[in-house]
Structure 1
Amino acid sequence: PNEAYWDAENVKLDQINWEVSKEIATNINLFESGEVQLTQISNPYIEQYAGSDALVTEPKALSGYVWFNQGRTSTANVHLRKALSTSFDKEAYVDTVLNDGSVPSNGFVPSNYAYNPETDEDFREESGDLAVYDLETAQAEWETAKEELGIETLSIELLTSDTETSKTTAEFLQSQWQQNLPGLTITIRNVPLKSRMESTTNGDYDIAYGTYTPSYADPIAFLEMYESTSGLNSSRFADEGYDALLDDTRSTYANDPEQRWETLLAAEETLIAENAVNAPIYQGANANLVDPSLKDVQIQPVGAAMYFRTAYVEE
């Protein structure tokens, strides 16, 4: 033990042994045999442990979403982006595809993440629902998009990584979009994560699916992804007004917390409600199997997923 650690008197574990395995079935076997006391799981295993004292789910500051390549003629059309953003059932998605404690999200910045410095109101609550499932609105936007693009049908590609969750997410969106927007055909390209990232960086995609979790709790951690100069902005979105809002949060209102907060709210509305730069799908959750004898593990929504500083094993 590190006796020089600042809180050494409250550290109860002498060491933690990590078993490295990316196969969830293997991890569950290790848990059931008592070789490990904690492991992360996903479906279909979550359903198997429903009601078990060992299953612990906690919300986290993860946003799952699709984004659009504005360097392509079709997805540069804001009405097409709005049609795609509002034409899939998020409740059905989290219930059937994830079923891990994740919840539908109608904005990019997640809930239980950042709070108004004056009123302590949750950012997500205050910003409101900016991209909701609304079939009537979606189909009207689709008709406008077809008129502006001069088309009756459209075939576009959805790019994802090749994990099981990404594959089932792509299949769900494909089904919803093709059913709800007649004349639209969605093809799917599943590739390793590294290849997906290379494709989006190079602009070799129409629509992409992914997730993002920041390392600190401030709405700007999400919003600055779409600044025109951001290295993470693979959407090719560039808007002087949006950039100016973010600049104001760092300079003009840096010492005015309430005005800075209002500016961040305006930025999210510009990004999602006005421009549909991305389409929020869900806010993620951590799902873990934890041995009931393992106490006081701190599972966190942002930053490091877990802290074991005060953890101990009850004899």
Structure 2
Amino acid sequence: MTRTTKLLAALAATTFLVAPAMAANVPDGVTLAEDQSFTYRVLDEHSSVDPQIVEDVSGSEIVRDLFEGLLTQTADGELAPGVATEWTPNEDNTEWTFTLRDDAMWSDGTPVTAGDFVYAWQRLVDPETASPYAWFGELMSIENAGAIIAGEMEPSELGVEAVDDHTLVVHLSAPLPYFAAMTTHASTFPSPSWVIEEHGDQWTRPENLVTNGAYTLSEHVPQERSVRVKSDTYWDAENTVLETVTALVINDENQALTRFLAGELDRTEIPTGEYPRLAEEYPDTAISFPRLCTYYYNINLRENGPEALKDVNVRKALAYAIDRNVITDQILQGGQIPAYTFTPGATANFEVPSVEFGEMTQAERDEMAVQMLEEAGYGADNPLELSILYNTDEAHRELATVISQMWQQKLGVQTTLDNMEWNTFLDARGNGDFEIARAGWCGDYNEASTFLDLMDTNSGYNDSAYSNPEVDELLAEAKTMSDPSANYTAIEEIVAEDMPVLPLYHYAGVYMLNPQIQEWPVNNVEQNWYSKDLYKVAAE
């Protein structure tokens, strides 16, 4: 009996996990707007619409419309069927079986099969793809993923198989009880092999792109706009209400607000510090809610990084001297939370630990910061000089300016500010061409490991190049523990002592949202929103 046959036999007596399908839920008596369009602002050009290449939040928002993975999320962040209608693990969470719906179809009329997921997942970890999210396949504990990424095994040896067109079986190298939640991430979405083989790296152009989601890509003008339109081949097209969704690239947040108030946008981020005023003037339009995200600064700990930053006293002095309450309460003013740990308190089943510097008063932190920097040999006679790299945005610039002033006034640190366009910035940060660089991390799934795994030596997004064997060991242990909370607390405490990153604040979603747009998932801290679940009501 083969491994697959044994698994299927065992599953025959197992109750599958089944959840209701999600779609736009328009209550009786609601009058819909004639114009079912949704137009929103993004700060930068997205990185890609290729599921295995996309690496940014705005790109993932587009990909979630164009492609559908095994599972999706409800407005409350609970798992819901996507292409898969049923999913279940074996007894020790090392093998997962997904049953695919038989009415899922690509936009060219080709049925979506388990083989499309096998192809996509092999493509994700294949070194030739050069996916910035290849590490996610290893993080999911898929059998042989690490060896394939390292070039030691062929992609065909990845622990995922299509038993038949509608049965996908995934073999894991370690128990992972939250594995199903990880399949809502864009990197795990299916890809059409025949289209990629025909068009190569041009397959994502609108005229070539074939998708299996609720929308197709009708237009893409780089640095300007991306337009997706409702797909008639999507299995739930009948319940998809929005016809057109447009992302407009607007670099200036104040210009975006002006265009929102002029009726050109249905959603935009509220400019820094403007939420209190706008909430009073537009109580039905200005919204703020917790996000599963952390804003922080990376410190370059590579060989080519600044010598001064290799001294933990310097790193801790910089962290301590930042008054996070000033940032959240006086500058941002949108419901953001000061961050002294990397993982947000909004994370499921995570209790924020009490790290030492987070328990001090700001005056105590400032006093210690001065002492630590002096111990490192820096002061008025030998000022520390640093640069902060950030991607072009007024809010990032303002925050970097305030932090540099804090460092100057309290520590005598002389700071220069460097800004870059988004994709250039990503390359520089990923290659270590910086001293200190801004970063934001939003959870790929709702569990503390989605944040703390960035502290692993081999993480693909460990842009500080931080390495601590004890942290690596604690992370590895956590993956097989039924309750890893003690490990997570220990990791946060170690990171607070090593200070490879400077956590600044935990995000809030602070938007101006057209009240006509209904069902925005404010209770989903991951903010995995799907245009198919939204609709626009008629104006009053």
TM-score interval, smaller chain: 0.7 to 0.9
Report the residue type matching 2:458 in the other structure. T
Q: Contact 1:69–1:235 (CA<8 Å) still a contact in 2?
A: yes
Does the C-alpha gap of structure 1 residues 59 and 155 become closer, same or farther in structure 2, counting only changes over 3 Å?
A: same
1:214 counterpart residue number: 443
Counterpart in the other structure of 2:501: 278
1:20 aligns with 2:248: yes
- The 1-side partners of 2:292 and 2:536 are apart by 26
Instruction: List aligned pairs for 1:130-279, cutoff 5 A.
Output: 131-132=357-358, 134-149=362-377, 152-181=382-411, 183-250=412-479, 254=480, 256-258=481-483, 260-271=484-495, 273-279=496-502
Work out whether residues 80 and 142 of structure 1, in 8 Å CA contact, stay in contact via their aligned partners in 2: no
Specify the structure having the higher radius of gyration (Cα): 2
Instruction: Note the residue ranges of structure 2 that are not aligned, 5 or more in a row.
Output: 1-229
1:314 Cα shift? 5.1
Identical-pair percentage: 22
How far 1:187 moved relative to its partner?
Answer: 1.9
Tell me if the contact between 1:68 and 1:75 (Cα under 8 Å) persists in the aligned partners: yes
1:155 and 1:186 in contact (8 A); partners too = yes
Offset at residue 296 of structure 1 (A): 2.2
SS at match of 1:298: coil
Is the partner of 1:20 in helix, strand or coil?
Answer: strand
Mapping for residues 27-176 of structure 1, pairs under 5 Å: 27-34=256-263, 36-43=265-272, 46-51=275-280, 52=282, 53-71=284-302, 72-115=306-349, 122-124=350-352, 127-129=353-355, 131-132=357-358, 134-149=362-377, 152-176=382-406
**Displacement of 1:264 after TM fit?**
1.6
TM-aligned CA distance change 1:303 to 1:86, over 3 Å: same
Whether contact under 8 Å (1:154, 1:185) holds in the other structure is yes
- CA-CA distance at 1:239 after TM superposition: 1.0
Cα distance change on mapping 1:106 and 1:264 into 2, 3 Å? same
Paired residues of 1:158 and 1:186 also in contact (CA < 8 A) = yes
* TM-score normalized by the length of structure 1: 0.82
Q: Distance in 2 between matches of 1:57 and 1:73?
A: 41
SS in 1 for 2:279: coil
Structure 1, gaps ≥5 residues long? 116-121
Q: Distance in 2 between matches of 1:12 and 1:231?
A: 36
What is the CA-CA distance between 1:201 and the residue it aligns to?
Answer: 2.8
1:295 paired with 2:518, answer: yes
Match of 2:21 in 1: none
In the alignment, the residues of structure 2 paired with residue 184 and residue 24 of structure 1 have an alpha-carbon distance, to the nearest angstrom, of 30
1:220-251 Cα distance to aligned partner (Å, 9 max, x none): 1111112111221221211111111111112x
**Which segment drifts farther, 59-68 or 30-39?**
30-39
Contact 2:290 2:509 in 1 (8 A): yes
